[in-house]
């Protein structure tokens, strides 16, 4: 097996192994270190012996043994020997699938990583590190901060969990509603990190606001899986259903978003490549959660994506409905990114000049956001203000962080 293939397996199994060991050992650092040691053993053995039938169970067993060795080496043999013996009887392969939501170790760890005692940025970083398997360097790049800074954030978050005795468990039913909002915010950011790897930029209006290419699809898949589990715990919580719908409808278009390394925008995508099953499931969830009558940001974003997915051709897009949904979104989750995306929809109804009038006042708030300059460039191009459009494309290119998007912006600029 090649190194890239091993990396894919490790990334997919990292969260499962760490979560299982964290519950059994009650120590995040030990669980993470033991998992890392197990991965090194796999790098040595798997290319020779082959990948085992159940990589996760193999890694869990090896990591468990490494953890026991670490405990014994610490020298605290009296109390620890009994503890180690007990754990040794528990650290066995687990080939069976998850028994259910409450028994899902990754869900337990997710609620731990998303505990309100931690700052939001630390929750996201810890979730990406422990459940997503990203390196500290990758997370630092996503947050646009130095690696040392990110390492300190993660270290502080784990120390806070240890010092505050934050438990590794799913909250009791009575506590779930108050805890879910923070979990959903982290899950959406994890999904975007998989689907939109250019950085942890706020995407209040949904992933298609910026639309870089996906390169970490396993993160998106894991975010969807965990959101499904949360939805199983709270089947009547409309925002949980809305987030799941938003993820599914966004993911349905992933196969059409890049051609030959160049981003393909929504209006130019081959819609035959869209995943009809994900779209159908997403539509059903949108209808289900909106019928509850408590529309929130995720539900409205999902409804906007549903309108896009409902059009078999871009010319059939119901832009008036999209504008109406953005009007509602501005009430429940106001922000400049929402205003930017609403302006794009308005431009489709009333013309590029009207859209530009709405975009221009957002300059101060969104000057560092590449999608703002890309949107402005396109509107300027459409009304014939070419020199200004060229300058706006150059600014967008300088801010974009994804090669596929840079290629698309460069092609648009060069076409002028």
The reported pLDDT for the residue numbered 276 is 96
Q: Taking a C-beta distance cutoff of 8 angstroms, is the pair 78, 198 a contact?
A: no
Euclidean distance between CA atoms 391 and 169, whole angstroms: 52
394 CB contacts (<8 Å, ≥6 apart)?
A: 413
Which pTM was predicted?
Answer: 0.75
The reported pLDDT for the residue numbered 324 is 97
Q: Which residues of the chain have pLDDT under 50?
A: 3-4, 82, 84-102, 197-215
The reported pLDDT for the residue numbered 76 is 55
The reported pLDDT for the residue numbered 70 is 86
The reported pLDDT for the residue numbered 403 is 85
Q: Taking a C-beta distance cutoff of 8 angstroms, is the pair 255, 279 a contact?
A: no
The reported pLDDT for the residue numbered 271 is 94
Q: What does the buried/exposed string (b/e) look like for 91-109 if buried means 16 or more CB atoms within 10 Å of the residue's CB?
A: beebeeeeeeeeebbbbbb
The reported pLDDT for the residue numbered 262 is 86
The reported pLDDT for the residue numbered 213 is 33
pLDDT digits (tens, 9 = 90+) for 257-314: 888 888 888 989 999 999 999 999 999 999 999 888 889 999 999 999 999 999 999 9
Q: Taking a C-beta distance cutoff of 8 angstroms, is the pair 108, 169 a contact?
A: yes
The H or E element that residue 399 is part of is helix 386-399
């Amino acid at each position: 097996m090649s190194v890239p293939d091993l990396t894919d397996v490790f990334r997919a199994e990292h969260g499962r192994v760490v979560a299982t060991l964290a519950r059994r050992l009650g120590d995040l650092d030990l669980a993470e270190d033991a998992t890392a040691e197990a991965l090194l053993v796999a790098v040595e053995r798997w290319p020779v012996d082959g990948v085992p039938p159940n990589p996760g169970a193999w890694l869990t067993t090896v990591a468990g043994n490494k953890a026991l060795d670490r405990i014994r080496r610490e020298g605290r043999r009296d109390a620890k020997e009994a503890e180690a013996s007990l754990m040794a009887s528990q650290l066995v392969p687990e080939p069976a699938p998850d028994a259910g939501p409450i028994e899902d170790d990754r869900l337990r760890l997710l609620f731990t990583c998303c505990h309100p005692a931690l700052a939001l940025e630390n929750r996201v970083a810890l979730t990406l590190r422990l459940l997503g398997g990203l390196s500290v360097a990758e997370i630092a790049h996503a947050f646009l901060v130095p690696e040392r800074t990110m390492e300190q954030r993660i270290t502080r978050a784990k120390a806070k969990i240890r010092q505050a005795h934050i438990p590794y468990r799913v909250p009791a039913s009575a506590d779930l509603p108050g805890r879910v909002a923070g979990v959903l915010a982290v899950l959406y950011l994890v999904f975007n990190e998989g689907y939109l790897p250019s950085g942890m930029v706020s995407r209040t209006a949904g992933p298609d606001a910026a639309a870089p290419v996906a390169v970490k699809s396993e993160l998106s898949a894991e975010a969807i899986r965990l959101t499904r589990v949360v939805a199983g715990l709270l089947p009547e919580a409309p925002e949980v259903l809305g987030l799941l719908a938003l993820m599914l409808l966004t993911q349905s278009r992933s196969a059409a978003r890049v051609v030959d390394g160049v981003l393909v925008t929504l209006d130019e995508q081959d819609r035959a490549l869209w995943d009809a099953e994900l779209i159908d499931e997403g539509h059903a969830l949108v209808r289900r959660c909106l019928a509850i009558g408590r529309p929130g940001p995720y539900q409205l974003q999902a409804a906007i994506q549903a309108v896009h997915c409902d059009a078999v051709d871009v010319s059939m897009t119901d832009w008036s409905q999209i504008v109406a949904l953005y009007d509602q979104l501005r009430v429940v989750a106001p922000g400049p990114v929402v205003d930017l995306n609403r302006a794009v929809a308005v431009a489709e109804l009333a013309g590029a000049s009207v859209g530009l009038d709405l975009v221009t006042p957002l300059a101060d708030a969104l000057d560092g956001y590449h999608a703002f300059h890309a949107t402005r460039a396109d509107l300027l191009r459409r009304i014939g203000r070419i020199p200004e459009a060229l300058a706006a494309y150059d600014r967008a290119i300088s801010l974009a962080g994804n090669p596929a998007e840079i290629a698309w912006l460069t092609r648009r600029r060069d076409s002028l």
